Amino acid sequence: MDILYLAVLGLVQGLCEFLPISSSGHLVLLSNLFNIEDSLFVSIILHVATLLAVVIVLRKEVWQIIRHPFSNEAMNIYIATIPTAIIVLILMPIVNLSFGGGFLAISFLISALLLLFSEHYYKKKEASFQKDFSYKNALIMGVVQGLAVFPGISRSGTTICAGLLSGAKKEDSAKFSFLMSIPIIILSLLMEIFKIIVQKEPISVNVIGLIISFAIAFVIGILSIKLMLKLTQKLSFKWFSLYLLAIAVLTLILI
* pLDDT(108) > 90: yes
3-state secondary structure of 86: helix
- Amino acid at position 14, single letter: G
pLDDT cut 70: percent of the chain above it: 94
How far apart CA 140 and CA 144 sit, in angstroms, is 6
**Contact by Cβ (8 Å): 141, 176:** yes
Phi, psi of 151 (to 5 degrees): -60, 135
How many structural domains comprise the chain?
Answer: 1
- How far apart CA 130 and CA 127 sit, in angstroms, is 9
Q: Give the Cα separation of 235 and 180 in Å (integer).
A: 22
Rounded CA-CA distance 137/214 in Å is 33
pLDDT tens-place string over residues 119-172: 888 877 766 666 788 999 999 999 999 999 899 999 999 999 999 999 888 889
Of the candidates 247, 249, 237, 243, the residue with the CA atom closest to the CA atom of residue 116: 237
Find the angle CA(82)-CA(88)-CA(93) to the nearest 5 degrees: 155
Contacts 24+ apart (CB under 8 A), 118-125: 118/160, 118/161, 118/164, 118/165, 118/237, 119/236, 119/237, 119/238, 119/241, 121/164, 121/165, 122/164, 122/170, 125/167
43 vs 49: CA distance, rounded Å: 10
pLDDT > 80? residue 116: yes
Range of the structural domain that residue 10 is part of: 3-254
In contact, 153 and 17? CB cutoff 8 Å: no
> Which range is least confidently modeled, 14-18, 200-204, 243-247?
200-204
Helices (H), the chain: 3-16, 23-34, 40-57, 59-67, 72-98, 104-125, 135-147, 155-165, 170-179, 181-199, 207-234, 238-254
Q: Is 201's pLDDT higher than 70?
A: no
Report pLDDT for 202.
66
User: Which DSSP category does 166 fall into?
Assistant: T
Q: Work out the average pLDDT over 15-42.
A: 84
249 pLDDT higher than 90: yes
Residue predicted with more confidence, 37 or 145 = 145
What b-and-e string marks burial along 132-144, b requiring 16 or more CB atoms within 10 Å of the CB? ebbeebbbbbbbb
How many whole angstroms separate alpha carbon 151 and alpha carbon 135? 27
**How much is the pLDDT for 147?**
92
> CA-to-CA distance for 193 and 25, rounded, in angstroms?
21
CA distance 12 to 15: 5
Q: What is the pLDDT of residues 91-105, one digit of tens each?
A: 988 887 888 778 899
Rounded distance, CA 255 to CA 243, Å? 18
pLDDT digits over 55-93, tens only? 999 999 999 999 999 999 999 999 999 999 999 999 988
Q: What percent of the chain has pLDDT over 90?
A: 53
User: pLDDT category, 40, cuts 50, 70, 90?
Assistant: low
